[in-house]
Each structure stands twice: as C-alpha cells, then as structure tokens.
Structure 1
Amino acid sequence: MNASDRTPADLLRSALAADPARPLVTFYDDATGERVELSVATFANWVAKTANLLQGDLAAEPGDRLALLLPAHWQSAVWLLACSSVGVVAEVQGDPASADLVVSGPDTLDRARACRGERVALALRPLGGRFPQAPEGFADYAVEVPGQGDRFAPYAPVDPAAPALSVDGAVLTGDQLVARAREDAAELGLGPGSRLLTGRTYDTWEGLSAGLLAPLAAGGSVVLCRHLDRLDASELAKRVESERITATAV
C-alpha cells in the first residue's frame, strides 16, 4: 500500500492499482454453507456501484451519518468502503432515529424504521439475492445497486481529517482509521499476500479491523467467517489449509 493513503477508499484504490485480480474478501456463512470470493477488482466494482447509489439515488453528502445495522458479511464490507468513498460517517450499530439514513439487514428492520431518512435493506441472501418482496418503507439493495455506474467520483473531495467511522462509542477520522489498521496489521503479522481468517463480528473495532481494514492496509486478504462457531476443530483446520491461511483472529 502507498504511504500517502489516508482513507480506506485510498487503500482500496492502491490495492486495485497494484493487483486487481488477487482475492481480497472470501466470505463463509457456516449456517447456510455459502462461500463467496471477491477479487480486488470485483470488490471495488461493488463499492463503486454502492457509492453511486449512496451519493446519487440516496443524496448522501459528506458528513451525513449512516446507521449501519449489518452483521459481518461481504456486503457489509462493501458498505464500509462506499461510505468512505463518499465521505459519509458509518455509524456501526448506530441509532437509526438520529441518523440521516440507515442500512439494515433482515433481522434489524423494525429497529431501522426509526430512521426518518432514506432506508436501504439487504436480504443477505447467497449471491447477493433480493428479498422475495421488498420490506415496506425500504429500498431493496439487490434491486437498486446493479444498475449503478461501475466508476465512482465524489462530488467533493473526501477530507481525511473528517469523521469517517463511529464504533464502540469512538469516532475515527479517515487518517485515524488507516493508521490504526496499519498498526493492527503489524500486530497480526500481516503483509503483502497474507491471508487472515477471522470469525469476529462487525460491531467492534477489532472485528472491523480484522474483517477488512487491517488486511486491506497490509496488501493481504481476509477470509471472513460468519457463524464460525458451528465448525469443529477438524473442520476449521481443513479450512485453514484449503484457504492457505497465514494468520487468524478468531
């Protein structure tokens, strides 16, 4: 990664320039058997489409607060980088009633209805599938995002010193996010080509860092596992071997 990178979106752009074909996020849901692998290029395309949805259709602006009510999932990782691309503050498990807009999974829809701004719902189904019927009062992400543009340009430059993420009661700027992600990568022993397996949730800094930001900052990749506790020791060992894991954070 480049020393000049100051936001998570910068880190992604550098990864795309360096090696777009390498894996970035491999996602497992051990409750459903789902496995999805996204290269840097594919992940960046999802981020661009989501950022265009956020900036265009949802009219989000830098500094707006988005309550992100999503579990550890590859689409959650996409939303984190889309927010960074636009300059929107991602409030992880934030209060929808005080947010400008909300993004919700299927299990938090009732809570998300407290938001008076735009509401987006994710079915979190395999292959990015849509809801059989969109929840009332919500835009279905899987319906709205495919038609968005494959390239994204913010209307205004994103300020690395502005708030970018709220988690665990702390608000971090883009600069701080990148610095902490690099520190965590060093502590985890990550470097270019590293493969980190994690089963941590996305409601803490430690989960967000291991589940995306630290591997991205290091030039590595993440194997993000939801419901990892459903695997026994032998099954976990097989995954570590098959995915060529070099570090774990479970």
Structure 2
Amino acid sequence: MELTRGAAQRPLVTFYDDAIGERLEFSRRTFDNWVAKTSNLLLEGMDVQPGGTVVLDLPAHWQTAVMLFAAWHTGQRVVIGPREELASAVDEGIWVTDTPDGAPAWADEVLGLSLDAFGAPLADAPAWITDYAVEVRSYGDRPPSPVPVPAHTPVLNVTNITFTRERLDAEIRESVARHGLTAQDRTLSTVEYTTCDTLVAGLLAPLEAGGSVILCRNLEDDLILRRIETEHVTAIAGPDAPYAPVRRLL
C-alpha cells in the first residue's frame, strides 16, 4: 500500500484520545517519516529478517498504524487480535506492546510503546525491554527499500485466520469498491483492530482509496456529531450516528 500518494502535506491520520484531551494530526509526509524511522529500527535495531513475525499487542492508535506499516515494509507477518488470544496465536517473533509485563516468555524481543503524545519513555520498564520512544529517535527518516512480498505469502494473522498478501489486498479493494471510498473521504474510526473487518474498515480501505482516517479513543456518544462536523467526516467505522449524513463501513 502506497501511503504517499497525493499531496505530501495533506492530512492522513488524525488521532484523538478524549479521555486526556489529546489531538494529533499527521500529514502524509510526517506519517511516512514515522514509518521509515520505525522500519529502520526494526531492521537495524532488532535485526528482523523477511518472513519474520511481529505481534501487535496494542490498542487502536496512530503508533499502532505506524508499526503495522513498518512491519509490512520490512517483510514481516503481522499478528493482531484480542489481547487474551495473542500469546497462544503464535510462539515466536517480536512482541510489540504498551504493557510489557504481559509479554510471553517466548518473545524473541519485546518492543514497548508508552503511547505518550510527547514521546515520554515507558515508566518502570525492565532493562530487557526496547523502549520505542527512546530508540526510534536515533533512526533515519529515509525509508529502506521495501521487501518484496509474493502474492501467496502470509502477511496477516488475525483471530486465527491467516491472510496472504493477495487475499488481504482483495479484501481491501472489495471494501473500497463496496463503499465507494475515494481520496476525498475522511473516515472516523473507533474500532479496535481485532478482526480483519475492523482493520480494513477502520484503517486500510480508507487509506488505500487515498483518503484519511480520524482514529478516536474514548469518544463519548455526545461528541460524535460534533466530531463528524469539525473533522468533515464522510464515513464511519464503529460508532452509531443515525442523524449524520455519513456512510457506515461496518
């Protein structure tokens, strides 16, 4: 998936956490720089090899999206799903999490994310944890060459279902076509990435269409209509908004 199509300064990902009053907006160029730095961290700092596994034990968040695209850029299979099922879904790979104490013993390495808006390090993290906020700063924002992935290679495992690159691409294209998504669409999403449907509707299909996403955590019902208006939302994945002139992707 090409994230840099269209104007580099056009918004790509907007992130809200209404519990703490946080709003962050990333242009296509800025988001792509984060993916590049994270890809370099995976390659140079964690020595990932094509065909490896990256487990994302994370809530829906802009950094989760960065990790997802960086993992695919470096040729990794991504494993996501409900937290209580992740440890039994695989038995090797890099474990990426905001709760390092819950990492399984089999994890080759543990990459911890504080998910802090200002890049604060993890609090009280064990010495054996790689702290994303600390380490990623030292890596360049020039993207490494993407690892070619054959069509029949597994790239995603979610809730014990494996998707090859070909199958995942088909799911994304089908969603774009079914909902008529275009580069003008702005999709508001409150869903967690625990199924292929939520991942596609809440992130991958809108970006594949060249549009943008507004990722919202802790969004209260009485804020939905205001958020739709202020962010010029045209499609929704997650919350119910019966009086808004928007399309439902889920």
TM-score where L is the length of structure 1: 0.87
Deviation at 1:194, TM superposition (A): 0.4
CA distance in 2, matches of 1:89, 1:79: 12
CA distance in 1, matches of 2:237, 2:37: 30
Deviation at 1:121, TM superposition (A): 0.3
Report the counterpart of residue 101 of structure 1 in structure 2.
Answer: 94
The equivalences for 1:89-128 within 5 A come to 89-93=77-81, 94-95=86-87, 98-106=91-99, 109-128=100-119
Residue identity (%): 43
- The aligned length equals 233
Structure 1 residues 188, 226: CA separation in 2 closer, same or farther (over 3 Å shift)?
farther
Structure 2, unaligned runs of 5 or more: 239-250
Q: Is the 8 A contact 2:6 2:210 kept in 1?
A: no
CA distance in 1, matches of 2:95, 2:136: 16
Deviation at 1:156, TM superposition (A): 4.8
Q: Deviations over 1:73-116 (max 9, x none)?
A: 0000001100110011111143277122110113xx23314234
CA distance in 1, matches of 2:118, 2:179: 30
The equivalences for 1:156-171 within 5 A come to 156-171=147-162
The code of the aligned residue for 1:201 comes to E
Q: What root-mean-square deviation, in Å, do the aligned CA atoms of Structure 1 and Structure 2 show? A: 1.8
Deviation at 1:197, TM superposition (A): 0.6
Report the counterpart of residue 187 of structure 1 in structure 2.
Answer: 178
Structure 1 residues 214, 156: CA separation in 2 closer, same or farther (over 3 Å shift)?
closer
Structure 1 residues 114, 188: CA separation in 2 closer, same or farther (over 3 Å shift)?
farther
The equivalences for 1:186-225 within 5 A come to 186-225=177-216
Richer in helix (by share): 1
CA distance in 2, matches of 1:76, 1:85: 14
Q: Is the 8 A contact 2:52 2:76 kept in 1?
A: yes
CA distance in 2, matches of 1:32, 1:47: 25
Q: Deviations over 1:135-171 (max 9, x none)?
A: 3421100001011111122485333431111112211
Deviation at 1:123, TM superposition (A): 0.6
Structure 1, unaligned runs of 5 or more: 1-7
CA distance in 2, matches of 1:170, 1:144: 32
Q: Is the 8 A contact 1:101 1:115 kept in 2?
A: no
Report the counterpart of residue 225 of structure 2 in structure 1.
Answer: 237
Report the counterpart of residue 45 of structure 2 in structure 1.
Answer: 57
CA distance in 2, matches of 1:172, 1:155: 19
CA distance in 1, matches of 2:127, 2:228: 41
Q: Is the 8 A contact 2:52 2:93 kept in 1?
A: yes
1:40 aligns with 2:28: yes
